[in-house]
Amino acid sequence: MAMQTQTSAASKQDLSVEQKIQQFRELFADAPELGKKALENALHELKSQASDLPPPVESAGRVGARLGKVSELTIIVPLAPGGAKRLRGFLRLLRGNLSQGANKVGTLHNMRFVFFDNDTRLLFATAFDGDWDTYIDDFVAKIPDYLDIIDSAWEGWPGIRSPGAKDYLIKHQITAEGWYVAHPDLTVAETTRLKRIGKAVDEFLDKVSA
């Protein structure tokens, strides 16, 4: 009985994979030659990857994607007049190293600021632990002023203490279509702990072997 169920599930999955591959082929029919050829080359691998159930990418809360414990936040905002100049000045002052503020929040894996369209727009992308609302609340509680220094460069930013701040962020955030994380099971705190343990083990082994 168990065998039957397994076989049935497998064939259903196979069918689904075959259907997906067929969908690919149809969609790539009008792709550039380069894309069509690449798809044919990678088809075998795609089949095997698509047939394994991938760890689910979930919602990070109100907006954004989450894989395991790690979420993504991608915002594209119009910059206020003079905003790019001010924000660039601030980032250069710290040489782009915002670790002091980030360490206070404690759940921030990385972040980047990219100016584009001749300094009229900004891409802000970050990876963080857990839920969107908790993350924003942490910023409000721990480093509200740093956020206002940065975000006052954005057109129409109401201020982090404003009731409209979260609505502003949601309006400009775009949920990623693809979200890959090398270690989705590790939070920033856990990574720090593992680094500490690894260092201690290395030191211990050095002492033992000396």
Partner 1 sequence: MAMQAATASTPTQVSAAEQIQKLREAYADAPEVGRVALDKVRGELEAAIRLRQQQQQEVSTAGRIGLRRGKVSELTGIVKLSPGGAKRLRLLLNTLGNKLPGRRQGRHASRHALCLPRQRHEAPVRHRI
List the interface residues with partner 1, window 45-64 (CB under 8 A): 45-46, 49-50, 52, 54-57
Q: Is 140 in the site for partner 1 (CB under 8 A)?
A: no
Nearer to partner 1, 61 or 144 (CB): 144
Biggest CA-to-CA distance, the chain: 70
Kind plus residue range of the DSSP H or E element containing 112 = strand 108-116
Q: Select from 10, 31, 141, 201 the one that contacts partner 1 (CB under 8 A).
A: 31
Task: Give every CB contact of residue 51 below 8 A, 6+ residues apart in sequence.
Answer: 13, 14, 17
Q: Select from 132, 135, 139, 146 the one that contacts partner 1 (CB under 8 A).
A: 146
Taking the C-alpha atoms of residue 124 and residue 76, their distance in angstroms, rounded to an integer, is: 6
CB of 203 to partner 1, least distance (A): 21
Nearer to partner 1, 131 or 149 (CB): 149
Binding marks (x or -) toward partner 1, 59..88, rule CB under 8 A?
Answer: --------x--x-x-x-x---x-x--xx-x
| Beta strands at 65-67 and 108-116: parallel, antiparallel or unpaired | unpaired
Q: Is 134 in the site for partner 1 (CB under 8 A)?
A: no
Radius of gyration of the chain (CA): 23
CB of 106 to partner 1, least distance (A): 17
Closest CA to 87 of 122, 118, 111, 125: 122
Q: Using the 8-state DSSP alphabet, how is residue 54 labeled?
A: P
Nearer to partner 1, 47 or 131 (CB): 47
Q: Is 93 in the site for partner 1 (CB under 8 A)?
A: yes
Which region among 6-14, 133-141, 176-184, 198-206 touches partner 1 (by CB under 8 A)? 176-184
Q: Are 112 and 85 in contact (CB under 8 A)?
A: no
